[in-house]
Homo-oligomer: A and B are copies of this chain.
Amino acid sequence: MNEDTRRKLTGVSVATLATALYKRGLRNQVIQGVHPVAPKGRNMVGPAFTLRYMPAREDRNQLSEFRNPEHPQRVAIETCPEGHVLVMDSRKSATAASAGDILITRLMKRGGAGVVTDGGFRDAATIGGLDIPAYHTRPSSPTNLTTNEAIEINGPIGCGDAPVFPGDVIVGDDDCVIVIPAEIANEVADEAVEMTAYEDFVIERVKDGETIIGLYPCTEDEHRERFEAWRKENGR
């Protein structure tokens, strides 16, 4: 993704992006059920790099498996490109962990832009304190081997019932995470910046006591003109 788009996406909310995708007929791009391990007050932005889990079969998931340098979970951590968001399909189950603090610390050191699982992290209290955005459904201490086997790196997956293709642009704020198809990321970013400007204008008006009727959405010329003036004034 280009840096201009990344920059734009750091300044808009997932809610605004969800509406921009809704206009394009995409209704299921928000990853359902995940939230920040700890709110960061800033957006997570980056292309998706994926890891898929399948149900664990006991004979294939002994602790000794981690000694294998090719174990997909560890390889995913070590190969996720800088600036990318690692997105894990944990089959919407937090019965066991998707990863823990050691792996997420390593991902952070390698320049990962963030991590999302539709399961849960172990060592979540520690992960919340790291300087990397992380999203999950709840803390979960059991090792992932208990219920999940890492099986595929960087293929198409589902995460929280949203479709995720490698390279799709992932954006997370303090509420939610959304998946923007790679091919429309630039235009969506542009549109979301515009929408955000208008929403910021609206919030000011509403805080001044104005009604939302006619203002949000804008159906009156008067508001359109005031908005244009406001933009100039505020350099938006």
Interface residues of A (CB under 8 A from B): 13-15, 17-19, 22-30, 32-33, 35, 39, 54-60, 63, 66-67, 69, 74, 77-78, 91, 95, 97, 100-103, 105-106, 109, 122-125, 138-143, 145-146, 149, 151-152, 155-158, 161-163, 173-176, 178, 181, 199, 202-203, 206-207, 209, 211-214, 216-217, 219
Contact = CB atoms under 8 A, between A and B. Distances in A.
Given A14-B122, A35-B138, 14 more contacts: A13-B123, A15-B97, A15-B100, A15-B122, A26-B57, A28-B57, A55-B158, A69-B214, A102-B212, A105-B207, A106-B212, A109-B209, A122-B175, A124-B175
A187 to B, nearest CB: 14
A211 B78 contact: yes
Contacts of A125: 39, 173-175
A162 to B, nearest CB: 6
A205 to B, nearest CB: 9
B57 A18 contact: no
A151 B166 CA distance: 13
24 contacts: A18-B122, A18-B141, A18-B142, A18-B143, A22-B142, A22-B145, A26-B58, A26-B59, A27-B142, A28-B56, A30-B141, A54-B157, A55-B162, A63-B217, A69-B214, A78-B213, A91-B161, A105-B207, A124-B174, A124-B175, A139-B176, A141-B175, A141-B178, A152-B155
Given A15-B97, A22-B146, A143-B18, A57 B163 contact: yes
A199 B102 contact: yes
